[in-house]
Structure 1
Amino acid sequence: MRVQVVIIGGGPSGLLLGQLLHRHGIEAVVLERKTRDYVLGRIRAGVLEQGFVRLMEEAGVADRLHREGIVHDGTLIAHDGGMFRVDFTEHTGVPVVVYGQTEVTRDLYDAREAAGAETIFEVEGVELCDLEGERPYVTFTAQGEARRIDCDFVAGCDGFHGVSRKTIPEDVRTEYEKVYPYGWLGVLSETPPVDDELIYANSARGFALCSMRNPGLSRYYIQCSLSDHPGDWSDDDFWTELKRRIPEEAADKLVTGPSIEKSIAPLRSFVTEPMRWGRLFLCGDAAHVVPPTGAKGLNTAASDVHYLYHALRQFYEEGDAEGIDLYSERALARVWKVERFSWWFSALMHRTADQSAFDLRMQRAELEFLADSKSAQAAMAINYVGLPY
């Protein structure tokens, strides 16, 4: 079998790249380690930048997003018992859209199936071969059968633990990492959101976030110890702790209920360089990870897709390799700016055991400056709604 592009990973970034390429006649096959149902069962963030929305429109899969997505013109920041609002549209002219990653993935799978584009599920033993040569190929096993696909290029969209990044020799890649000394305990509940917009809360007891998926489905998080397990927290314990960390006016409105999903996510910042090696291109979590503060993971993967999709179009439609030659440089220039924002916002909102009295006063001063300064709010809004591609 031969195609122009093999995409490793059937998550949203791989599917979005595949759909965009398909609409321009570039043939791509997607290889996914799990089943479709498993992929759609993953619970992830759902705050979309306008750049992501435009890519979904270009891919022809934005109808349901526009119908059901919740437009957010700002966000609320809580500290010391009070709250202030950062207005995105005032400072940037554009909002963000809340639309669950699961729904993005579902829309992309449906579009891929409708187009008759091939996705191979439950693949094992993937190996990327001859990536520095003229004729790369991918071998794997599916349904017990050994298979090979020849191609022009490979897009590694298979996440932090996938095979793509690890295929690049260690003496070629440089990795940068920061592991944060806390995690997020997240609860999904069939309850109305506590507010129309997200609430990010800094409290003496630790960080909290009030988010949502739709008007009847809420997502809440609290900062927790890395040694905690979801089973350590009963629903009552979670709701009690959440109420302690958010302002009283929000706690009084909070509607609680049984959790339908509960999990703990560790936080890290991670970047690998370069994002291209020979005929292999890394996208999304395969190349970089951000802490979830500010919801940049999925959106940064989309910016990679933007650069790679346009580079491949330039190659196939114009015979020009400039885009693929500059892919890593262009993608990383934006990645590092996003990493900075996620690192800054995480440091601003979380408490750690090693913070001194001086550190805590600096954190408070930074929050008060953000509350009082239109310029500081504008800088935050520009980053939150998404830096330009």
Structure 2
Amino acid sequence: MSSFEVIGGNKLHGEIVPQGAKNEALQILSAVLLTAKPVTISNIPDILDVNLLIELLEDIGVKITRTSRDTCTFQADDIDADYLASEAFRKKGGRLRGSVMFAGPMLARFKRAYIPKPGGDKIGRRRLDTHIIGFEKLGARYEYDDVAGCFKLSSPQLKGTYMLLDEPSVTGTANIVMAAVLAEGTTTIYNAACEPYLQQLCRMLNCMGAKISGIGSNLLVIEGVNVLNGTTHRMLPDMIEIGSFIGLAAMTQSEITIKNAGVEHLGVIPDKFQQLGIQFNITGDDIHIPAQDVYEIQTFMDGGILTIYDHPWPGFTPDLLSIVLVVATQARGSVLVHQKMFESRLFFTDKLIDMGAQIILCDPHRATVIGLGRKHNLRGITMSSPDIRAGQALLIAALSAEGKSVIQNIEQIDRGYQYIDERLRHLGADIKRVN
């Protein structure tokens, strides 16, 4: 197990380029299974979860040529579909929730798929019902194998249909879309997720020969085709990392420029950080955050305390609520953070309270933050990262705190942020990795 040792209080300065989007990568990389032709993908983040997914692709027979750490060519022309039923795949695939994304492509192309019990963050209940129900509506049969601990799906030929999703699940929508592109007939998906990363997937599939319309809306229409071709695709910058860097600059009173931020794809993210009082300038595709001594949380027009909550796109992403909560601790004013989608994501607040933050955890979904306005700095402590996003939030807190902090279980952070310690050192952070 590794730890970060952080000496907080340094003001950072410089430019940083966001990595490729983790949440896009898990969908895009799975889609290479839909064709026997070469698919080249660039701006791949070099992080644990994505590298594990690439290993899984290689294990089932995908030929992979890695021309650089962020660019790979994949060719799925000799796939061992039954390997997904093996104990080896269940053990490795069970470590990564993203492995569920293989089901749609495998079911569409090879008529059978297996889904191990999903791994990933322990942030609350994350059901697979949307995936399974969608596959069933396309004509697939499924059963659960209690001994093997996986779902088995099969269909001689998927058939297009109309479906209204019970929730706009991003991974659920992506999985169903990947199954539907090779189905017979037309599939209409209402209440579909419409995140930029899902839009990226649909555009990539269309470049491969799929016929998807309604991209960017919650109503997707997919005309099935017989075969897909290869393509070249570049992934978007990671919006979660961009939000993290905005929060980092504010917390540490630093001047940071985020280069090539993909501003047009950030939605309401910049607005939410401005509501916390953080100033920044957008020039072209770059975001410049000047050093700011004090930032003050806005109130609603009637004077009510600001509430920031998560919501499916184009609402605010739940992955940034941990960052918002941490950043608010040193703002002037108060905010209610309402995490609607996951019931365990706010449980890291006890560590911030130990650092001196004033937070009231109302229940598993809501926390009220009373900003200290820098009257009292956070203090360094020893803590453990519970999940990817909370880990990054705690790292930001440590960088702004007085004294030394030790963050344990940093493999959780490495799952979502590439070379984060090296990149922060280039900005002037005092951080080292201890094995």
Normalised to the residue count of structure 1, the TM-score between the two structures is 0.27
Normalised to the residue count of structure 2, the TM-score between the two structures is 0.25
